[in-house]
Amino acid sequence: MSFTRGALVEPLAVVLHAISLCNGALAIGRPALICGAGPIGLIALAVAKASGAWPLVITDVDSGRLEFAKAFVQGVSTFQIDPTASSSQVADAIRHTFGQEEETAPSIVLECTGVESSIITGVRCCRRSGTVMVIGVGLETMNNLPFMHISLAEINLRFTNRYTRVDWVAGINALANNNVLNLDKLVTHTFPLEQALEAMQTCTDRSSKSIKVQIVDDTVIEL
């Protein structure tokens, strides 16, 4: 396995572990919503596509990342979040992209931002008895979750903590076979070890349009 793919095993394991806790909610032919088009969200999108879930919608505030998502996973629908709109307004608009009926709403929401407003939006998008899996890391305390909506709609609000050895093995197996999953395009920038500082700056520079930045030591050591 290449260094590129090897470095993608860890974030893939995060996603695979989260999905393993969803009790089969991510399934062939079932609608899925992914909140956040960063590296974790894009990996979640790719895994959802590989699972056969459909239709797929991914959200973000950044139009550039949504354009990347459309090129990365063919056929996905995108929705740009308006940060000035309320979570309810955003959720209503996202639900409209899936259809008008309750049965067409996403049965699983993979929340990959950890932002409170995005979690609330995901909860309001989810169909009755569906699952919202919060993968993103957010604030220690959140006070505005719509508890009664979650309760009355019988939504399964789930959380995840990293991964297990089983998830690593599954990730390695998936990335070792292009026919299962190919995440190579997520690595948008590569730097040699000597330019590590520039690599870090690229990560935080929105104008760079980076998704995944890798630092590579090209030195070959023969044992």
Say if residue 15's pLDDT is above 60.
yes
Read off the pLDDT of each residue in 63-83 and give the average, rounded to a whole number: 98
- Residue 127 covered by a domain: yes
Helix (H) or strand (E) holding 150: helix 147-152
For residue range 165-205, list pLDDT tens digits in order: 999 999 999 999 888 999 999 999 999 999 999 999 999 99
Q: Is the pLDDT of residue 35 over 80?
A: yes
**How confident is residue 220, by pLDDT bands cut at 50, 70 and 90?**
low
Tokens (6 digits) for 92 = 């209503």
Residue 61 has pLDDT above 70, yes or no: yes
- Round the average pLDDT of the chain to a whole number and report it: 95
Q: What is the pLDDT of residue 223?
A: 38
- Are 59 and 126 in a shared domain? yes
Q: What digits encode the pLDDT tens for the residues 132-173?
A: 999 999 989 999 999 999 999 999 999 999 999 999 999 999
In a shared domain, residues 82 and 13: yes
pLDDT of amino acid 222 = 42
Which of residues 106, 124, 159 is at a domain's end? 159
Other C-beta atoms lying within 10 Å of the C-beta of residue 28: 8
Residue 180 within a domain: no
The answer on pLDDT for 219 being more than 70 is no
Rounded to the nearest 10 degrees, how much is the dihedral formed by the CA atoms of 217, 14, 62, 181? 70
Say if 164 falls within a structural domain. Answer: no
Tell me the CATH number at 147.
3.40.50.720
CB atoms within 10 A of CB 162: 10
Residues 213 and 110 in one domain: no
CA-to-CA distance for 37 and 211, rounded, in angstroms? 9
Q: What integer pLDDT is reported at residue 179 of this predicted model?
A: 82
Half-sphere exposure of 111 (CA within 13 A, CB side): 25
- The pLDDT assigned to 39 comes to 97
On whether both 147 and 197 belong to a single domain, the answer is: no
- Say if residue 139 is in the same domain as residue 72: yes
- Whats the size of the chain, residue-wise? 223
Same structural domain, 50 and 104: yes
What values do phi and psi take at 181, rounded to 5? -160, 130
Q: Is residue 129 part of a domain?
A: yes
Does the residue 111 lie in any domain? yes
User: What is the 8-class DSSP label of residue 48?
Assistant: H
Helix, strand or coil, per DSSP, at residue 111? strand
pTM of the model: 0.95
Task: Please give the residue range of the domain that contains residue 8.
Answer: 3-159
Residues 155 and 203 in one domain: no
**What is the torsion angle, in degrees rounded to the nearest 10, for the CA atoms of residue 215, residue 64, residue 208 and residue 11?**
-20
Does residue 60 surpass a pLDDT of 90? Answer: yes
Tokens 């990730």 belong to residue: 171
Q: Is residue 101 part of a domain?
A: yes
CA 203 to each of CA 9, 39, 211, 214: distance values in angstroms, whole numbers, following the listed order: 19, 11, 8, 10
Is there a domain that residue 12 lies in?
Answer: yes
pLDDT at 171: 98
Q: Are residues 98 and 192 in the same domain?
A: no
Does 92 reside within a domain? yes
Residues 199 and 144 in one domain: no
Neighbours of 153 (CB within 10 A): 16
Residue 223 CB neighbour total at 10 angstroms: 2
How many structural domains compose the chain?
A: 2
